[in-house]
Amino acid sequence: AQRVTQPEKLLSVFKGAPVELKCNYSYSGSPELFWYVQYSRQRLQLLLRHISRESIKGFTADLNKGETSFHLKKPFAQEEDSAMYYCALVNNAGNMLTFGGGTRLMVKP
């Protein structure tokens, strides 16, 4: 069975501080992971995927197979980063996306 764990329900940082949202996964196959974000009063949307190795809005995430982690990082948090963040893993068949419980990021001025 596949499982995604986000240990922090709430993460509060000051503007300009580094931020790391933790994500750990459990999956017997080759993992493919995503970060989705939901800003206030907006739809859930894709932020980034590990296979693209891209930086979106200053966020990056590296897949660490040894630690089975896919932490989301940003060196300098902005107030507009405040949102709900979900880590997700897709199965080998590509038809089931498993989400973590989510972390609410609050960036204080």
- The pair phi, psi for residue 52, each rounded to 5°, is -85, -20
Nearest distance from C-beta of residue 30 to another protein, angstroms: 9
Q: Which of 60, 68, 82, 98 binds another protein (CB under 8 A)?
A: 98
Q: Does 28 bind another protein (CB under 8 A)?
A: no
Q: Which of 9, 66, 67, 109 binds another protein (CB under 8 A)?
A: 9
Cβ count within 10 A of residue 103: 20
Nearest to 11 by CA among 69, 64, 85: 85
Round to whole Å and give the CA distance between 26 and 6. 12
Nearest distance from C-beta of residue 69 to another protein, angstroms: 17
Nearer to another protein among residue 49 and residue 74 (C-beta)? 49
Whether 46 contacts 26, CB under 8 Å: no
Residues that bind another protein (CB under 8 A): 4, 6, 9, 32, 43-46, 49, 51, 86, 90, 92-102
